[in-house]
Structure 1
Amino acid sequence: MILKEVFKALDIQIQFMKEEIISNRRYFHMHPEIGFDTLNTEKRVREFLEKEEIEVISSKIGVVARIKGKDHSRMIALRADMDALSLQEENEVPYKSVCPNKMHACGHDGHTAMLLAAAKILQSIRSNLSVDVLLIFQPAEEGPNLGGARIIMNDLEEQGLADKILYIFGLHLFNDFETGKVGIRYGSLMSSTDEFDIKIIGKGGHAGQPHTTVDALSIGAKFVSAVESFMSRGKNPLDPAVCSIGIFHSGSAKNIVAETAVISGTIRCQTESTRESILENLEKILKGICEGFGADYQMEVLRGLPVLINDENATGYAENLVQQAVGDKNIFHIMEPTMGAEDFAFYAQKIPASFLWIGSGNKEKGFINLAHQPRFDFDEAALFTGVKVLCCLAMGV
């Protein structure tokens, strides 16, 4: 348990740093960078860390740094994502993005600013830290492909750092919840993401002579219907999962039976076993229908992010500390997982992890737009909650 005096000291330090925290956030917001192309953001992060005499560790991507506590054989890891989205900002604010078609519309500017502030505070009290603190500033959470977490995780393993990490934590700002609130969830929090592309190959011909053809369009329609039946009857209804067909292209003219059909979609799951079951049965259904009607098929699956599962011990550790930091009335349990995804899941596959939600919505101030929208912005008071939570997570060992 952290003493009340420590919380009071944290509040004083955060209060003293408020202008700096907001200034950093607004700088990142004005200068958004996408995917792995976060060189300017990384430069500012490194300069800040070096100014605070925090050790920057070599890394393939992003910025990784270490604050040395008493025990160098163990670590608490804290991660912030740095990348923005391909979106034209519509907010008219002094810190509006100066980069056309680039915008921090998911709060990553805030995540980076929070971790920098926490790093500064933790560095100033490093002699009181029980273990080292690993700081991870990660690009490409929004992609492309499988994102940046997988690469950094591999890097940590190669450097022998992964085995030293007791717990790893990440935070995400959400306007869905009131500023000052902190959300906790045990078990699955965010979904896996897989995509599939299918081509059904039949035999085209005259619409007046269907018996001489193999109608790919009709076969494709049967496949879509069969998948929907499987999702409602072939899986546990208490285990959330979605299989959505987003693309169906077939046919070229009204009087021609389609020779091919192209079908693409996405699968989102909350358990790895259901994920594997759906992928396996998807091809079984496709193969059976095509064989039954004399068609061939091609199927490609792009395996995406794994399910993000919050470790019980890491989450219990976090809940205890957050409860002390923000009080019982400001902590809530996230009742349902989301079908959104987070590449933080790659860390959670290897290290006991917990991903927390920080409320950043404020109806009175107009912060009501949700993430990935051109008018997204958040209540900057949420930053101070996030900094306090990050510090406590690092100090609680």
Structure 2
Amino acid sequence: MPDLSAQARALQPRTVALRRAIHRRPEVGLDLPHTRDLVLDALADLPLQVHLGVGVGSVVAVLEGGRPGPTVLLRGDMDALPMHEDTGLPFASEVDGAMHACGHDTHVAMLASAARLLSGRRAELAGRVLFMFQPGEEGFHGARHMIDEGLLDPTGPAGRPEWAYALHISATIPAGELHLRPGPLMASADTVRITVRGRGGHASAPHDAADPVPAAAAMIGALQTAISREVSAHDPAVLTIAHLTAGTTTNVIPETAFMEGTIRTLSAPVREQVREIVRRVCRYTALAHGCAAEVEVVSGYPVTVNDPDAADRFTALGREVLGCHRVATMPTPILGAEDFSYVLEQVPGALAFLGGCPAGLDPSTAPANHSNRVVFDESALADGVAVYAGLALDALR
């Protein structure tokens, strides 16, 4: 382990070049042909078995160690967000309406350089490393699609992994720090869509109509009250109605109102409880206003749960590679969501956040992930490469 950081720093020019090439040409969703080709070029001269996705633009690469043993999976997601970039970076996005605002370009670059570092030390590996370059993390369930194509099967590209790890860069954590926790790390994320149906009419005569607008407004307040009254304060749950639309002009009561939002929870029982609350509250609030409500709950990502043993190994490895002062245990989960949760449902593993706050900025006020102005400190990439490689070396000693 002691020379991992030095080896990662030696690869830094290659890591940064790949990151910037990906950043300039961001791609959204499950089909990422340009990004995939950049990954394939970066891996082309390495002793890897490469497999391409069938229904999605994924890349899976397998490194066989010098001795038999288990498989460890390392994940890097590849997709961007559908948003405009306003960073002013010399390598800013050249694609209108697409930006690597969540740092997935750094994940790909770090994982590719970790594959290069480990290829040079394959004799030390008792087993194999499965490099998972994944599309469609930003709401497209890319990890689930890869699992459906056999990623984790015993007969898959590298057999069933024994451990699975991932890094996620964060612009609001000091550069080079590693933050994680055992147990729930990130929330489940469901979408709720509610259509309130009333009876349209003239705005001057609401008594002759069944106005869906006050019914929808009442639902929003009733939902917040129900969450605070029915869900235990010890079980975090967030319900946010973020979009509400109704009507076309000032003197017409519309027939329908529509609203949608997100549900975030940290356990499966509370997730189902909140879904039931939404259906019940909307139905009976609508009835109280002489309207009807159609409620659709669209399942999103599950809770991201770090296996306690894997999190402990991740923490110990981070301290060994980066130093004890640069590894912190998170006191609480965050309510963002991650589709690496699909992998962690089936394989013991852990995800950790790698700090990437630029020098001179306060992490508490720096533009955060998903901001149109987010910038990541590229010096942290060498730390990520070293940690990725260290996780594999540790698991396959």
Question: Does TM, scored on the shorter chain, surpass 0.5?
Answer: yes
Separation of aligned partners in 2, 1:260 and 1:58: 46
Alignment counterpart, residue 18 of structure 1, candidates 9, 12, 16: 12
1:153 alignment partner AA: I
Separation of aligned partners in 1, 2:194 and 2:228: 21
Change (3 A) 1:255 1:27: closer
Is the Cα contact below 8 Å between 1:148 and 1:343 reproduced in 2? yes
- Out of 383-392 and 47-56, give the one that drifted further: 47-56
Aligned CA-pair RMSD:
2.3
In structure 1, the residue corresponding to 2:44 is in which secondary structure?
helix
Question: Are 2:298 and 1:302 equivalent residues in the alignment?
Answer: yes
Please name the residue that 2:376 is paired with: 378
Counting only pairs closer than 5 Å after superposition, residues 46-57 of structure 1 correspond to structure 2 as 46-57=40-51
* TM-superposed deviation, 1:191: 1.5
Change (3 A) 1:24 1:235: same
- Out of 212-221 and 186-195, give the one that drifted further: 212-221
In structure 2, the residue corresponding to 1:350 is in which secondary structure?
coil
Is the Cα contact below 8 Å between 1:50 and 1:56 reproduced in 2? no
Separation of aligned partners in 1, 2:184 and 2:114: 27
Question: Are 2:142 and 1:148 equivalent residues in the alignment?
Answer: yes
- Out of 328-337 and 212-221, give the one that drifted further: 212-221
1:384 alignment partner AA: A
In structure 2, the residue corresponding to 1:165 is in which secondary structure?
coil
- Out of 54-63 and 361-370, give the one that drifted further: 361-370
Please name the residue that 2:243 is paired with: 247
* TM-superposed deviation, 1:293: 4.4
Is the Cα contact below 8 Å between 1:73 and 1:164 reproduced in 2? no
Please name the residue that 2:29 is paired with: 35
Change (3 A) 1:363 1:290: same
Deviations 1:170-201 (A, max 9, x none): 10111211112111211111121111221222
Question: Are 2:111 and 1:115 equivalent residues in the alignment?
Answer: yes
Separation of aligned partners in 2, 1:329 and 1:314: 20
* TM-superposed deviation, 1:163: 6.2
Alignment counterpart, residue 136 of structure 1, candidates 128, 132, 139: 132
1:55 alignment partner AA: Q
Question: Are 2:57 and 1:59 equivalent residues in the alignment?
Answer: no
Change (3 A) 1:203 1:375: closer
Alignment counterpart, residue 313 of structure 2, candidates 294, 298, 317: 317
Between structures 1 and 2, the one with greater helix share? 1
Please name the residue that 1:331 is paired with: 327
Which runs of structure 1 show a deviation greater than 6 angstroms over 4 or more consecutive aligned residues? none
Alignment counterpart, residue 181 of structure 1, candidates 165, 171, 177: 177
1:372 alignment partner AA: H
2:51 alignment partner AA: I
Change (3 A) 1:135 1:222: same
- Out of 205-214 and 188-197, give the one that drifted further: 205-214
Please name the residue that 2:394 is paired with: 396
* TM-superposed deviation, 1:209: 5.6
In structure 1, the residue corresponding to 2:333 is in which secondary structure?
coil
Q: Where do 5+ consecutive residues of structure 1 fail to align?
A: 1-5
Separation of aligned partners in 1, 2:44 and 2:249: 65
Change (3 A) 1:249 1:379: closer
Separation of aligned partners in 2, 1:87 and 1:261: 27
Deviations 1:124-179 (A, max 9, x none): 11111022100011111113xx3311111222145633862111111011121111
In structure 1, the residue corresponding to 2:130 is in which secondary structure?
strand
* TM-superposed deviation, 1:205: 4.2
Please name the residue that 1:126 is paired with: 122
Separation of aligned partners in 1, 2:312 and 2:351: 12
Counting only pairs closer than 5 Å after superposition, residues 176-325 of structure 1 correspond to structure 2 as 176-205=172-201, 210-251=206-247, 257-325=253-321
Is the Cα contact below 8 Å between 1:105 and 1:372 reproduced in 2? yes
Please name the residue that 1:167 is paired with: 163
- Out of 263-272 and 203-212, give the one that drifted further: 203-212
Question: Are 2:359 and 1:354 equivalent residues in the alignment?
Answer: no
2:327 alignment partner AA: I
Change (3 A) 1:294 1:390: same
1:242 alignment partner AA: V
Separation of aligned partners in 1, 2:215 and 2:78: 45
Separation of aligned partners in 1, 2:88 and 2:200: 55
1:29 alignment partner AA: H
Separation of aligned partners in 2, 1:376 and 1:344: 22
* TM-superposed deviation, 1:345: 1.2
Separation of aligned partners in 2, 1:294 and 1:303: 29
Separation of aligned partners in 1, 2:362 and 2:182: 31
Is the Cα contact below 8 Å between 2:359 and 2:377 reproduced in 1? no
Deviations 1:310-356 (A, max 9, x none): 11121112112112111111101122221211111111111112111
